[in-house]
């Protein structure tokens, strides 16, 4: 199987991303109040449009695969639904038009996601509430109903059940919950499921705690909707089989916490986060035999094939605001400036041998890479494709059997990576994956 596709979208963090239905365009939040639309051109992604209406950081994006609508939410407590319409000034061109959403929240919006039928969407928030939004054709806007009880803190993540009614939510009160988001005049009565039969709005169908009381960063339903998975800040991944007596399996990791996950089949999950590499978990026997298979990142044993870097703002590669090589900013284009710039964007340090000694518990620094020399002021580069926290994981391509063949990730390092879901490769990397980021830091290279 081919290796990952790597694209350096920007030198700034990528907060969220979502692909168009044909995968030829990409909407991203570059840690700002704008959404940038990229278009695939050859082996690179070039910016072609900007959605500018938010006032503060855009926290989440979801591009509907059937209706081709984009929904965005932001720390400004607003959400917009963007639809392509003919440009009134140029009839043959299309522009993105925002539609108002009445969220009725008084804190930042943290996550947004379309329902499977795309006739409504949910917005998580710091107001201890989830806004379930449907379209009001009479007033040409989206209106919301709020899921509130028993949420006690900021909702960090959401995911829809395939039946278009149930909604999973993970929050900072250490709980993962499953709610009924049934909206009259929008939804048909759902069929009975393992989550319940009678499902009026705001019914709590399940409530589950993280192993050691950590924030629940991410939640996800399995493709059938019969299993729930969530990852917490205590570095655990929990799988829930609901029922009269729920079966709850928790995998406690010694690595850094995961902040995003996605199901790739009914029996496997890809999770990623502060460890800078996507990890594959799978059910290997009965319900109680979930385990870590390994990492999708095999960059320790094989070089990663990178694609050309795209230019963020359309100028020449390397120009200020772009994502190319050396920055063309006159007198500041020197070794000291580049050192600080790299440390800011990559989290690099000037003494890699000392950092490795701290990670391994050694009393004295050791050589970062066998046969390499550590230069004073050198910048460390981890032996992972992503050089900083992975912020989101999404399905990218489906196989013939309906399982996810490739996933996409974006991170604080400004990279977009498309990974093949390769069980054999992940298993081969299992030993290194068990050690998490520490094992990768043990093989740091020095970038001059």
Quick: pLDDT tens for 260-275.
999 999 999 999 999 9
CB 154 within 8 A of CB 179: no
pLDDT of residue 396: 97
Closest CA to 413 of 436, 393, 389: 389
Residue 435 has pLDDT above 90, yes or no: no
Tell me the helices (H) and strands (E) count for the chain, helix number first.
5, 30
pLDDT of residue 369: 32
Residue 134's pLDDT band (cuts 50, 70, 90): very high
Distance of CA 440 to the CA centre of its chain: 21
Residue 42's pLDDT band (cuts 50, 70, 90): confident
Q: What is the mean pLDDT of residues 338-348?
A: 61
In the chain, pLDDT over 90 holds for what percent of residues? 68
Look up tokens 């943290």; give the residue: 110
Distance of CA 382 to the CA centre of its chain: 20
Which tops the pLDDT comparison, 77 or 448? 77
- Phi, psi of 371, rounded to the nearest 5 degrees: 85, 0
Q: Cis omega before residue 150 (within 30°)?
A: yes
Q: What is the mean pLDDT of residues 231-247?
A: 95
Residue 89's pLDDT band (cuts 50, 70, 90): confident
pLDDT of residue 338: 64
Which tops the pLDDT comparison, 179 or 361? 179
CB-neighbour burial class of residue 83 (10 A; exposed 0-12, middle 13-18, buried 19+): middle
Q: What is the mean pLDDT of residues 290-303?
A: 76
pLDDT of residue 429: 72
C-alpha to C-alpha distance for 394 and 385, rounded to whole angstroms: 17
Residue 428's pLDDT band (cuts 50, 70, 90): confident
Which tops the pLDDT comparison, 348 or 246? 246
Q: What is the mean pLDDT of residues 59-78?
A: 97
Residue 399 has pLDDT above 80, yes or no: yes
CB 31 within 8 A of CB 11: no
Q: What is the mean pLDDT of residues 113-136?
A: 97
**Per-residue model confidence as pLDDT tens digits over 135-191:** 999 999 999 999 999 999 999 999 999 999 999 999 999 999 999 999 998 999 989
Considering Cα of 401, then 164, then 56, then 37, what sign does the dihedral take?
A: positive
| Beta strands across the sheet bearing 228-232 | 216-221, 228-232, 236-241, 247-252
Q: What is the mean pLDDT of residues 291-299?
A: 89
Average pLDDT of the chain, as a whole number = 83
Residue 11 has pLDDT above 70, yes or no: yes
For 241, residues 6+ apart whose C-beta sits below 8 A from its C-beta are 226, 227, 247, 248, 249, 287
pLDDT of residue 291: 92
Residue 339's pLDDT band (cuts 50, 70, 90): low
């Amino acid at each position: 199987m081919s290796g990952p596709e790597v694209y350096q979208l920007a030198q700034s963090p990528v907060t969220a991303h979502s692909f168009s239905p044909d995968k030829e365009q990409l909407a991203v939040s570059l840690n700002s109040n704008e959404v940038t639309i990229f278009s695939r051109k050859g082996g690179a992604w070039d910016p072609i449009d900007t959605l500018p209406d938010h006032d503060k950081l855009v926290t989440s994006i979801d591009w509907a695969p059937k209706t081709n609508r984009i929904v965005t939410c932001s720390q400004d407590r607003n959400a917009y639904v963007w639809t392509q319409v003919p440009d009134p000034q140029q009839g043959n061109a299309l522009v993105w038009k925002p539609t108002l959403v009445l969220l009725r929240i008084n804190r930042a919006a943290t996550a947004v996601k379309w329902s499977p039928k795309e006739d409504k969407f949910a917005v998580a928030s710091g107001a201890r509430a989830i806004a379930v939004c449907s379209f009001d054709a009479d007033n040409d806007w989206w209106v919301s109903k709020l899921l509130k009880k028993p949420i006690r803190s900021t909702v960090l993540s959401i995911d829809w059940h395939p039946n278009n009614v149930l909604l999973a939510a993970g929050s900072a009160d250490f709980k993962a919950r499953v709610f009924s988001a049934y909206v009259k005049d929008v939804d048909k009565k759902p069929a009975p499921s393992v989550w319940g039969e009678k499902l009026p709005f705001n019914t709590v169908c399940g409530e589950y705690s993280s192993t050691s009381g950590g924030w629940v960063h991410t939640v996800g339903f399995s493709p059938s909707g019969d299993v729930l998975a969530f990852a917490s800040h205590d570095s655990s991944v929990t799988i829930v089989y609901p029922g009269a007596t729920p079966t709850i399996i928790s995998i406690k990791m010694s690595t850094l916490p995961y902040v995003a996950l996605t199901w790739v089949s009914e029996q496997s999950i890809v999770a990623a986060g502060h460890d800078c590499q996507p990890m594959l978990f799978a059910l290997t026997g009965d319900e109680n035999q979930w385990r870590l298979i390994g990492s999708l990142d095999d960059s320790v044993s094989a070089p990663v094939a990178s694609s050309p870097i795209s230019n963020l703002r359309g100028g020449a590669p390397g120009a200020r605001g772009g994502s190319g090589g050396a920055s063309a900013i006159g007198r500041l284009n020197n070794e000291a400036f580049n050192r600080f710039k790299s440390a800011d964007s990559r989290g690099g340090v000037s003494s890699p041998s000392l950092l490795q000694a701290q990670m391994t518990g050694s009393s004295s620094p050791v050589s970062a890479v066998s046969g390499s020399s550590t230069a004073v002021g050198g910048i460390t580069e981890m032996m992972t494709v992503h050089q900083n926290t992975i912020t989101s994981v999404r399905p990218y391509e489906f196989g013939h059997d309906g399982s996810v063949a490739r996933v996409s990730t974006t991170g604080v390092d400004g990279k977009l990576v498309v990974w093949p879901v390769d069980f054999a490769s992940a298993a081969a990397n299992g030993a290194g994956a068990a050690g998490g980021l520490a094992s990768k830091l043990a093989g740091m290279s020095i970038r001059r």
